[in-house]
Copies of this chain bind each other. A is one copy, B any other.
Amino acid sequence: MIGEIIAIGDELTSGRITNTTSGYAARALFLLGHGIQAMHTIGDAPDLIGETLKAAINRCDFVLVTGGLGATTDDLTNEAVIKALELNTVLHPCVQANIESRMGKENRNASVSLAKLAQLPEGAEVLDDDCRMAGYLLRYQGKPIYFLPGVPPQMEILLHDKVLPGLQTFDTARAVPVSQRVYRTCGLFEIEINNRLHTLEQNGVQIGYYPVGAEVHVSLTAHNLELGVDAPRFQEADAFIRKALGHNIYGINQDTLASVTGQLLKARELMLGVAESCTGGLIASAITEVPGSSRWFKGGVVVYSNELKEQLLGIDSALLARYGAVSAETAQAMASQAAQRLGCDITVSATGIAGPEGGTAEKPVGTVYLGLWYQNTVVDRLCRFNGSRRQIQEKTAQTAVDMVRRALLAS
């Protein structure tokens, strides 16, 4: 089925908040074989919301609308739908009962109440079985329009539990399955990867290239119009990509550098530690985003000041004075000392100039030294990153984790 997504809110059209829900929903729908032909973002303007919704549902098979369903006075989606589709408002007792049971005395007397949540367009089928989350299905000329909350966690739950299974029941012309694989790489530039892979595109598959900080994600897509026909072509392309990019591919689809590196550490029963200066905790934070990381990550130090480099890691002040905090020598010392003091099997360190201040002619902003200690050997690596302070920190963190991954693969 072909659909469109409409996200609602002044916070989006004025750019105060980044719209992440549309992309999330698009991805989930895409992987089930549905296509999103357009995504629209409209402000809190009932007329424009209605106009966009009506145009969308007339030109495709389904529409997904997110946002504007809440209780605050800037939530106008229901009003817009009622007007555009010429519907009446109906009180939903289930929603109302739920609100009343949740309302304390304070809220009951409040002048802005949650009662608005129970007023829905006629025909609305509430999605949440417990009537706690906003969100409903409307059938318009036989086509489904799903309305979901704009708050990402709630949207995600209802999308997976209700929308994706529900769409199947409308799917007269069975969705066309799509084969897709995303190869996540670190270590090659985008144009270099394109040079190695472009011949594949004459082969009836699509290749996409997406730089994400120091990484490039490469997508391989085949639309299996006739089931089975494209499978060998997909497998051939897969083998080609794996050979062309080798160990620069760190993972597939939703893998992250940290999750893949964690699997390698776990298999080898090794504990990782970090010593961070310019990244200020970002390496550790990327690692501990992975569930279960306590099994292979012991912890680390954020030695942002030279004083802490000496105090926590016992780095010689003479070394810092002689080579500077941003140097190969300091990066090596941070990694070795962290291995010893934290009692880890492998450690990675980062020291550099994230900017915007602090750059010199010799060591401009973006100069970063990484250190890696493993099996009684310490190495360092000089990187020169560009971008904003945060981008330099992120590229450094990605490259540091990748350095651990490569050391484990090489051992």
Contact = CB atoms under 8 A, between A and B. Distances in A.
B41 A48 contact: no
Contacts of A18: 18-20, 23
A305 interface: yes
Q: How large is the interface on A (under 10, 10 to 19, 20 to 34, 35 or more residues)?
A: 35 or more
A329 to B, nearest CB: 20
A360 interface: no
Copies, count? 2
Residues of A contacting B: mostly: mixed
Interface stretch (A202-210, A229-237, A262-270, A400-408): A202-210
Given A209-B74, A282-B281, A294-B305, A13 B26 contact: yes
Given A291-B355, A307-B298, A391 B153 contact: yes
Contacts of A324: none
A194 to B, nearest CB: 4
A289 to B, nearest CB: 6
Interface of A: 9-20, 22-30, 36-44, 48, 52, 70-74, 107, 110-112, 114, 151, 153, 180, 182, 190-191, 194-195, 198-199, 201, 206-212, 217, 219, 221, 274, 276, 279-285, 287-289, 291-294, 297-305, 307-308, 311-312, 341-343, 355-357, 386-391, 393
B302 A301 contact: yes
Contact of A274 (B36, B43, B73, B302): B302
A1 to B, nearest CB: 14
A292 to B, nearest CB: 7
Given A282-B285, A357-B292, A15 B27 contact: yes
